Amino acid sequence: MNNSTKHNKQKIRVLFCDQLNLARGKYLPESVASSGEAGICKGVFSVTYSRQQINAPGAGVEEGLPDVNLKFDPAQYRESWHDNTKIAIADVYENGKPYGLCGRTALKNAIEAWRRHGLDPMIGLEGEAYVLESIDDGLKPYNTPGSYVYGTGPFNDPEKLMDVIWDAAEKCGIPIESINAEFDTPQFELTLQYGDALKACDDFFLFRNMARELLYERGYVLSYLPKPFEEVSGSGLHINLSFRDIAGDNALANGIGENQLSDLAQGCIAGLLKHHEALGGILAPTVNSYERLTPDGMCGYWANWGHDHRGAAVRLSKEMGKSARIEHRVGDCSASPYFAVAAILQAALLGVENQYQLPVEAPKNIENQDKTLAHIAHSLPESLQALAADTVFVNAIGSELIANYCAIKSAEVKELSGKSKSEVIDYYAYYI
């Protein structure tokens, strides 16, 4: 066998998403990966971004850090953005059973809970990110002096970086809905097409990592950090939600009009607002997240809802029929898409099953919101407290997963205690 043949041999990149939204995994030869399994140390669920190890529940620190198994289907390999590589998206198992700390499993559980009601969750994810240039002493904003809101073309992206992302997404079979410049400079909105909940999250997980890796190889950092520098409004993750019924139709098709809200729509909205404060602990999972979540921002700070209302936490689309959907606007892309969507689905389902009362609709004037409403906490530790205290919501998602997550995130808070805003940004910069 010559050297060229050896070089072209396929390898499998096995990936899973952890509680920090990091794409962990390993490379395997294709022959080894054919088993559909790989071992990995359980201790990856015990560390912060800075690799500080925490005796977090379920992470195996007191058991000698044993292995758990990554399980994947070799018939479901995804195309990679790198040559001679295929990607396997794995679930995490322990002793032959789904591992309680696996976010993708938490999402599967949430999907199955809705299916027991005869409904299949459909998800669309809109991510926002800033492009930063890597320089000798750190990072600076990508130079786009002619950029403008909802802009396209060379004034908004002179180096055609979005073309690089678009072309790679097509190669990898990741369905893009749209890409455009967003409000700030150099900020972009990157939206994927609607799909069933698991596929939508798989696509977004791969897309985010693909885009970040490809730009990094070109000297840029695509930062999904909520506020990577102080003088900007910030980036969010908008989660769009609908349901396909047994007939294959959108179950919200005629249920979110201004003069008509179906029981399904009312229950979903009420559930999202009832568990609004706890959701913040999952959807806004970094210290930096709370630089974006302010009372006067269009970020979903207040526990409110409205028709085509970008100032509300829960926005109902103008579209009816097959495009009808509920949009949740609180989160940011430092959250794992699996964990975030699982949380949204479970909160909405609690509202339907428990018939929570729907609050009145928010006033249209964005600057005239009801300041007596519940709202997202002012800091990550406060959000983690609200999450842990909401036991109904915790049990719906998985108490072991939440306990581990809160322990890791509490350690992260301690690591960043007393740090300046710029030091906090530096801590997260290359991971988010």
Domains of the chain, CATH where assigned: 10-99 (3.10.20.70), 109-428 (3.30.590.10)
Q: What is the pLDDT averaged over residues 228-250?
A: 93
Structure token digits, residue 203: 């696509």
At 320 the pLDDT is: 83
Tens digit of each residue's pLDDT (9 = 90 or more) over 115-165 = 999 999 999 999 999 999 987 778 899 999 889 999 999 999 999 999 999
Tens digit of each residue's pLDDT (9 = 90 or more) over 377-407 = 999 999 999 999 999 999 999 999 999 999 9
Q: What is the rounded CA–CA span in Å between residue 365 and residue 353? A: 32
Q: Which residues contact 243 (CB under 8 A, 6 or more apart)?
A: 114, 119, 120, 121, 122, 250, 251, 252, 264
At 7 the pLDDT is: 54
Question: Of residues 254 and 36, which shows the higher confidence score?
Answer: 36
Judged by average pLDDT, the poorest of 73-82, 201-210, 299-308 is: 299-308
Q: Which sign, positive or negative, has the C-alpha torsion 291, 297, 298, 301?
A: positive
Judged by average pLDDT, the poorest of 37-46, 92-101, 316-325, 386-395 is: 316-325
Q: For residue 148, give the amino acid letter.
A: Y
Q: What percent of the chain has pLDDT over 90?
A: 82
Angstrom CA distances, 403 to 68, 111, 237, 387, 395, stand at: 19, 22, 24, 10, 11
Q: What is the rounded CA–CA span in Å between residue 15 and residue 25? A: 4
Question: Of residues 297 and 323, which shows the higher confidence score?
Answer: 323
At 357 the pLDDT is: 94
- Length of the chain counted residue by residue: 432
Structure token digits, residue 53: 């190890």
At 234 the pLDDT is: 92
Judged by average pLDDT, the poorest of 88-92, 251-255, 347-351, 361-365 is: 361-365
